[in-house]
Structure 1
Amino acid sequence: MLGNTRLAGALLASTTLIITPAFGTDLDAAEPQTSVGTGASDAGEDILVTARRRDESSQDVPVAISVVGGDHVDATGSFNVGRLQQLTPTLQFYSSNPRNTAVNIRGLGVPFGLTNDGIEQGVGIYVDGVYNSRVASATFDFLDVAQIEVLRGPQGTLYGKNTTAGAINITTNQPTFDFAAKSEISVGNYAFKQAKAAVSGPLSDTLAARFALSSTSRRGTIYNTTSSQWIQGQDNLGLRGQLLWKPTDRLNVTVTGDYSTQDPSCCGTVYVRTAVTQRPANRQFAALAAAQGYAPASTNPFDRLTDLDGQLKAKNRIGGASVRVEWALGPGELTSITAWRFWNWDPSNDRDFTGLPIVTLSQNPSQQDQYTQELRYNYDQGDIGFVAGAFAFHQRIDTQGTEQQGSASTRWNISPTNALYNSNVLEGLTALNAVSLKNSSAALFGQLSWKVTPELTIQPGVRLNYDKKQGYYQRQVFDSSGNALLLNDSNIYSPAQSAQLAIYAPQEIAPRFSDWNFSYDFTTSYKLAPDVLVYATYARSFKSGGINLNGVPTDSTYHAIAAAETVKPETVNHYEAGIKTRFWARRATLNLAAFRTDIRNYQANVNNSQYGVLRGYLANAGAVRAQGLEGDFSIRPSARFNAYVNGAYTDATYRRFNDAPCPPELSGGSDSPGNCDISGAVLPGISKWSFSFGAEANVPAKLLGQQGEVFFGYDGSTRSHFSSNATPSQYAWIEGYDLHNFRAGFRTDGGFSLYGWVRNAFDEQYFEQLQVASGNTGLIAGSLGDLRTWGMTVRLEI
């Protein structure tokens, strides 16, 4: 039945292939929206966006953009970016824990896999204009959101930080000079509890304030038989306070402070399968486990059982403060955004993915601070408009890591034919890692908009960017007695030392990178009719070079390979064409886009068979190409019904990657190739087909003496299979899946609503990510998607 559902959804969506909002119109028809960014409530109303740093209709913006109104975010339970991807098919979100999170658009942005702090993210995440440099911010709950815009394609000539794949622009509700308040409480199975509240109003004639909070908790969905705990729970708290000073109609000053915390028992994996590698049979997972009398808690991953014996912790703290000044100066507006943000990350993981004490400690707590300053002037008069700005960014990261081998490590890593097999030579072997990064960049950017005729507009944009990264990585290694393991010039070591060096080799590198780059784009748009816009864009963009901060591979003498310390900048050539249309008296919207992105020196995240490189490292693939078609269709024939369908076809492949790491089935043997040519292979994490679709209907009703409406809503999504390894492997493909969410309830004209909901209604069993364990043992572990959840929400607005 699910296969038929996927086919039916694909056939429906393929007739209307993506670029703008299907959701901005999905709001309470009884509550006309007047504030910018909440979407249109009635047929024909514009959805206003700020994608080009000014308020304008999304249908007049020659950019591929999806818009999700705050009401739809709340109604569908899309309370973070992970949930948001179910509404926007071109957005991909993968997370094994908050730090190891990837947010990509059209399959591009950051390398799929373990995060490396030494590179930039290609998708910019902005909250009220403030750039968030770490994708960990994407794992937090949305807080008092007014609207979310997902822009696709390079955005460097308008946005503060250069972003080569797109941007997520989140706008929150702002302080008001009229009193307003809202609250929401949700409860559900698995002890789910969520509370949201916001209050806004005047403190004086020129000063207004707004305060918002959100709290989410839920029991875990995977049972750890070793610790007798449910893991993968939720424990989130978010707070935000804002002050608006408006001394005149031409000056606004907004001061914002926010703080969010997560402290779940997280993040673990389950056993999925074993791959057949080229290691000797007695050194593959089945034989290794049998030799120590071990069996996984379950060989069916959807039993949701694990037996991880390492400590699991994902303590996360993020917050900051900003000052935004908007000053109507002359014929335009000057905007200044000054911000400081911090992120403190305190994790513990089980990196061997088993219940055996192989790797008993794996933790890399990190402290990050960033400072940004953006200054821009926006002019829009008559036939000429422009945005000109400057952006400065500085980031400091300090990480202290500990990795330790346990009592099962020796027999797991040393052959039975080796005299050390029955020793404890690896037990207690400890690596202490010290990592730091100073990352600075500065840029000048601008975009001109010239209406050559009332129908024809051209928009050239430019950006001059400077980036500088200074990193340091040190790994010190100690045996169980606390003696330091050191490298020597003679490369002569005892058998015990050689065995230990094969696991952790001391390493000290200080990679550096700095460079200038010049980006530009050119867009032409033409109004074929008042409600028909066609456009074409070419963009030449760059993603800054990177440095490896998780350690790099070593040569035969255990010394770091210097050439692996840095990766080259990406060079991006992007082409796009689209059409935006409204018809049937603006009751229907159909938008289409076609794109192609060519990247030279693509920054790939690769895994190495050496145990000493547990966290993977960065390397340049020669060339990558992503191309595809996208479409959105939404319809609202009356205030009583609306529906949408969005679809995306994405073909993303390595055009040239001659020295990629080999998949597990080609690794581990004495004659195995050192690297593989995977030119033509698909990029990881990308489904060729993805769709989202939904509808909402309502009828007038009276309940408990209150006039309102009964409503029923549905939102679904489907995606085809995708690779979950940097190099495609027959063992690391994730099957496509469908998700279906329903809601039904009652709401009044006065702002009260009560409704029940069920998400993943048909209890689809699926993986979000598969991970290939180090050492070529063949073990494949997985992160599971959410199971069926249901509950009830009560909301009140005044």
Structure 2
Amino acid sequence: MNAIAANALKGVSLLALLAPMSALAQTAPAPAAQEAASNSLTEIVVTARRRDENIQDVPISIAVLTPRVLANANVVNASDLALATPGLVSNERFGSDNASFTIRGFTQELRTTPSVGVYFADVVAPRGATPVTSGDGAGPGSFFDLQNVQVLRGPQGTLFGRNTTGGAVLLVPQRPSYDFGGYIEGSVGNFDMKRLQGVLNLPIGEKVRARFGIDRQTRDGYFNNVSLVGPKKFSDVDYTAARASFVIDLPADIENYTVLSYTDSKNNGTASQLFACNPAGGSLPSVNRQLCGASLPSGGKFYDVQNSIPNPQSAIKQWQAINTTTWKATDNLTVKNILAFSNLKSTLVSPIVGTDWDIADITTTLFGSPWAAGGSPGTSPNRYIVQMSGVVPGTPTVDQDSFIEELQLQGNAFDNRLIWQGGAYYEHSKPSGTQGGQSISGLLCDYSSLGTDPTQFRCADTNYIVARASGLPQSTATLISRGVVNRALGSTEFENKALYAQGTFKLIEKLSVTGGIRYTWDESTGVMQSVNYFFNPTGVGGDGIVTGGRNASTANDLVAPTSIACADTTLAYAGNPANCVVNMRQKSKAPTWLLGLDYHPVEDVLLYGKYSRGYRQGGVNIASVRGGYTYEPEKVDTYEIGAKTSFKGRVPGTFNVSAFYNDFRNQQIQQGLLPAGGVGTTAIVNVGASTIYGVEADANAQLFDGFTLSASYTYLNSNFDEVSDPITASDAGCGGGPSFHGVCILGGTTAALKGFPTTFSPEHQFSATATYRLPAPESMGKVEVSATYTFSSDYLALMPYNKDPSLAGATFNPYAKIPSFELVNLNLNWTGIAGSKVDGALFVTNLLRERYYTYVAGQYSSTGFDYRSLGRPLTVGARLRYSF
């Protein structure tokens, strides 16, 4: 869990230009999209306002990545895209395949809808619907054969289908053309990277054209698993993506465009690295004090990780069918209908904390001799599971169908002085089958017993082991958590409807006004069956506490569940999991709008200003506790001014700048909860207000023939101003302790947020790329070299506290920040080798071998074991493409 929740729970050819790193997360931007050298100043067409326009004529802060930049940056997944885009940050908490985006400090928490919408061929990404971040983004297989990628900053709630507060990412695929052609491309690199792409564009008669593509990549993982459990490498790649698209020209000026896509990805997922251990903290201080000295890999290397799960995996299968019918009814009216179906199925089994402690290790430390059933360290089938996210055998983590229908009208009037569009939007996402998962925490378990039925598991609560080690009785009041298996099967269904209209009217030749409005109706429903299984060995009371003195350790302490209860403590299990079913529903509706002016004082200068309202729907919390099952929408008022300039002459180029101010209210964040029963969970809550403001600038110039320099900079200041805490600080029903909607909890409140910046919001980000075309004869082809430098200042990955500072014993987390880092990447591109149809490339990323990380969990004070996700090491590669 992130943020507050973590605190509570705790011989090759050539190619490529500026390769910002791929397969990372939460990092700084690389340069804005520009073609290399002589191509860098050409016109770039975008669809940021749902119609084709020159990027320099669009009054929006936008970054565009062309096919060349995507290739040079080796963009394979969402994390790669964040590295290649100014102002875009990705959260890779559950691996790069499940990353979510942050723009201008607007972050998606685990169970909320995305704050940054991702669109492919004008259709929003298939939804995920479980407690882990999945779907709603740009996974493997999304980034080949694209026309461009557009990153729109700020609320886009008028014209785009799903309302978001942070912005939108548009993936625009290459459309079929009337020219026969295509390409075959192969890439190799270190870590045994292999990639093969193939695209065929095929005209079929005068009215039909088709395009087919496939992308296949495999690569070993970057991170070495030094434990003897599970795979040898983590963060590997193994996916196949296929796409087929067709354009049919029908009578009466009607065009029918269909895109079919399919992705199949399966790898070991990511593994966190345990890097800090707090002997005085955590829920189990007796364990911490004795294990901290041996908890970190002794003499380990930076990219070493530990794992305790025999079969971790991250698997995604996704298909999508999109049909767009465009009818040019008259010279002044176009009717467009967009229809889409999709299915997303994913399975995620992941160790949350990077540990590999077996029972032999632990009992030797605590009792002076190994567990009778343990054996030598690393060979025992029994493992201490600090925290693990897993699946119910045979049940996917996500299995969700989505249907989208959008009717759109576009037109012009008054001799083209008014350009307008409007329409209606409908989206329905529902489960395709049973989905869910199970988590295990604070238990010693025999892995061979962890099958389909939790009643057959054999485990022991770690609290019991601690009590025996100490030889002292303990009570529930002194325990932060209980060891538990939680099995949660459920579903979430979404229904979204909207009407919208927007128009731009030219008041005078150089001055235009834009106005738009959208009204959205959203509904989320959830059904969850959540059951907790507790393991209290013989001689332990019903609350899981040893009531006698210290006893000898025996294998008999691994037992089947000794008590079972509904996760919602207001419900009675009574031997039937169906008694634990909870139904929940949340509705929200809101208008969003846009009002803007844009002015062209001279031909190559655009000045603009706008005011917009952004909105993100409320929703349901299918894995929370009573009182925390729903949350309300959030909204933001954004004020933005900007300028876009183009200049010619001896030094042609562009310079764009924007400044923005966001008044952010009712923000959706995670609140960590530990009910009186001792099993931790989280809720999404709405708290207070934040102020977010900043400046974004990018420049690009051809300083002399063959040499191009581009740079981008982002400044971001974010701050929690007011916090309205949903937790009651003192509740008589909880013995004077805090409560959340009547649920007694242990842990802090959100009040300590005040004064902190929002997460994933580096204050400074900078990147610069220099590209030089070598003065080679034309018959040799075009040879270019480039270097890219990127920098990110430090930023919070979570709030740096464990408890409300006003509470006794409050402890601030020293590892809440991602430290600043800088990267250097080199590329060499050779286009048309010796006049042939072959292009080649050579690339190096992270040339300086920067050791950095991209996520921290922030559990130093809560569980006492803190872990992080690591950045990408030095990588090199080469690529060849034959075009026909």
TM range (shorter): 0.7 to 0.9
Give CA deviations for 1:412-469 in whole Å, capped at 9, x if unaligned. Answer: 5754355589xxxx99953321121111010011111000001111001000110011
Give CA deviations for 1:735-764 in whole Å, capped at 9, x if unaligned. Answer: 111111111142216542112110111111
CA contact (8 A) 1:82 1:139 kept: no
Partner of 1:579: 643
Change (3 A) 1:673 1:503: same
Tell which has more relative contact order, 1 or 2 (C-alpha 8 A, sep 6+). 2
Partner of 2:689: 623
Partner of 1:271: 274
CA contact (8 A) 1:579 1:592 kept: yes
Distance 1:280 1:390 in 2: 52
Partner of 2:315: 315
- Letter matched to residue 584 of structure 2: P
- Letter matched to residue 524 of structure 2: K
Partner of 1:555: none
CA contact (8 A) 1:48 1:55 kept: yes
* 2:709 maps to which of 636, 643, 662: 643
Partner of 2:497: 442
Change (3 A) 1:368 1:615: farther
Matched, 1:591 2:591: no
Deviation of 1:710 after TM superposition, in Å, equals 1.7
Report the count of equivalent residues.
731
Equivalent positions of 1:50-69 (< 5 A) are 50-69=47-66
Deviation of 1:301 after TM superposition, in Å, equals 6.8
- Letter matched to residue 201 of structure 2: S
Deviation of 1:243 after TM superposition, in Å, equals 1.3
Distance 1:618 1:589 in 2: 43
Deviation of 1:622 after TM superposition, in Å, equals 0.9
Partner of 1:212: 213
Matched, 1:358 2:384: yes
Distance 2:511 2:301 in 1: 56
Give CA deviations for 1:212-246 in whole Å, capped at 9, x if unaligned. Answer: 11111111111222226111111121110111111
Distance 1:89 1:661 in 2: 37
Deviation of 1:402 after TM superposition, in Å, equals 2.2
Matched, 1:171 2:172: yes
Distance 1:625 1:612 in 2: 36
Change (3 A) 1:298 1:177: farther
Deviation of 1:149 after TM superposition, in Å, equals 0.7
Equivalent positions of 1:229-244 (< 5 A) are 229-244=232-247
Give CA deviations for 1:772-795 in whole Å, capped at 9, x if unaligned. Answer: 349922211111111000011111
Structure whose CA Rg is larger: 2
Distance 1:427 1:641 in 2: 63
Give CA deviations for 1:524-568 in whole Å, capped at 9, x if unaligned. Answer: 11112111111111112221112112223xxxxxxx3x2x22111
* 1:759 maps to which of 830, 834, 845: 845
Change (3 A) 1:336 1:751: farther
Q: Which consecutive unaligned segments of at least 5 residues does structure 2 have?
A: 1-28, 128-133, 358-382, 392-396, 446-458, 476-480, 547-560, 574-579, 729-737, 739-744, 802-812
* 2:532 maps to which of 464, 471, 477: 477
CA contact (8 A) 1:271 1:299 kept: no
Q: Which consecutive unaligned segments of at least 5 residues does structure 1 have?
A: 1-19, 30-40, 484-490, 553-559
Secondary structure of the residue aligned to 1:339 is strand
Distance 2:40 2:473 in 1: 78
Partner of 1:246: 249
Secondary structure of the residue aligned to 2:285 is helix
Equivalent positions of 1:205-604 (< 5 A) are 205-224=206-225, 225-227=227-229, 229-248=232-251, 250-275=253-278, 282-283=285-286, 285-287=288-290, 295-298=295-298, 302-309=302-309, 311-330=311-330, 331-356=332-357, 357-359=383-385, 362-364=389-391, 365-381=397-413, 382-397=416-431, 398-404=434-440, 405-407=443-445, 410-411=461-462, 414-415=466-467, 416-417=470-471, 430-479=485-534, 508-552=581-625, 560=626, 562=627, 564-585=628-649, 587-604=652-669
Partner of 2:118: 125
TM-score (norm 1): 0.85
Change (3 A) 1:427 1:299: farther
* 2:790 maps to which of 692, 695, 717: 717
Secondary structure of the residue aligned to 2:508 is coil
TM-score (norm 2): 0.77
Change (3 A) 1:305 1:725: same
Distance 1:288 1:96 in 2: 26
Partner of 1:605: 670
Give CA deviations for 1:267-299 in whole Å, capped at 9, x if unaligned. Answer: 211111124765588346343557xxx633347
Change (3 A) 1:751 1:167: farther
Deviation of 1:713 after TM superposition, in Å, equals 1.6
Q: Which moved more, 1:691-700 or 1:647-656?
A: 691-700
Deviation of 1:349 after TM superposition, in Å, equals 1.5
RMSD: 3.3
Distance 1:589 1:625 in 2: 30
Change (3 A) 1:759 1:673: closer
